[in-house]
Amino acid sequence: MPRKSKKSTEEVDVNLAEITELTAKLEERDRECGQFREMAQRAQADLENYRKKIADEMQSVSQSITSRILSKILPILDDLQRAFEQDHKDKATKEWVNGIQLIERNIFGLLESEGVTLIDPKGESFDPSQHEGLISLENDEFEPGTVVEVIRKGYKLHNKVLRAAQVGIAKNPVSEEG
């Protein structure tokens, strides 16, 4: 059997040492690669969460601005409605009122297209989240706690109360027994 030379044993030892060193470096690079991959995945998740947060904030700001603008339009509608309730006997005034009513319908159309709905609760039970009770009225036609008069209509924007309806609420009539 041939004997291995000392030189070939040294070469094997050197090659084995190089292989061990290269294997260790490769394993280290694999660990680093895994760490970088995890960091990239976390960064991507953070970016996606940030995008969602910004989108939510933008929607919130948009709704807030819309709500503020629409709240400023509502008193104008109240004034228009009060003007229509006045007695308009002459023909010129009636024509003017008809024109203004057209404008009012257009404003209501705009409000509806933005998601505004009317709160007109006459005959409904009083709901403090949607109604502002201003007066109690003796009434034997309605149950106590029922809205019997709408003093000022209320409005909602996408199921959120923009302005509560101001109402009169039924109470039991006072009996005159004596």
Domain assignment present for residue 48? The answer is no
Q: What string of pLDDT tens digits covers the 178 residues of the chain?
A: 555 556 666 677 778 888 999 999 999 999 999 999 999 999 999 999 999 999 999 999 988 888 888 888 888 888 888 877 777 677 777 788 888 888 888 988 988 998 999 999 999 999 999 999 999 998 888 889 999 999 999 999 988 999 999 999 998 876 655 4
If one counts the domains in the chain, the total is 1
Q: Which domain holds residue 142?
A: 117-178
The CATH number of whichever domain residue 128 belongs to comes to 2.30.22.10
Domain assignment present for residue 43? The answer is no
**pLDDT computed for residue 49 by the predictor:** 96
Domain assignment present for residue 148? The answer is yes
Residues forming a β-bridge with 131: 165
Domain assignment present for residue 145? The answer is yes
Query: Rounded to two decimals, what is the model's pTM?
Result: 0.62
SS3 5: coil
**pLDDT computed for residue 176 by the predictor:** 59
**pLDDT computed for residue 178 by the predictor:** 45
Domain assignment present for residue 177? The answer is yes
**pLDDT computed for residue 1 by the predictor:** 52
> Is-contact 174 158, C-beta < 8 A?
no
**pLDDT computed for residue 85 by the predictor:** 77
Domain assignment present for residue 15? The answer is no
Which structure tokens are listed for 9? 């044993």
Alpha helices in the chain, H assignment, sequence order: 6-84, 91-113
**pLDDT computed for residue 47 by the predictor:** 96
Domain assignment present for residue 149? The answer is yes
From 78, 165, 81, 75, select the one nearest 124 (Cα to Cα): 165
**pLDDT computed for residue 175 by the predictor:** 64
Domain assignment present for residue 137? The answer is yes
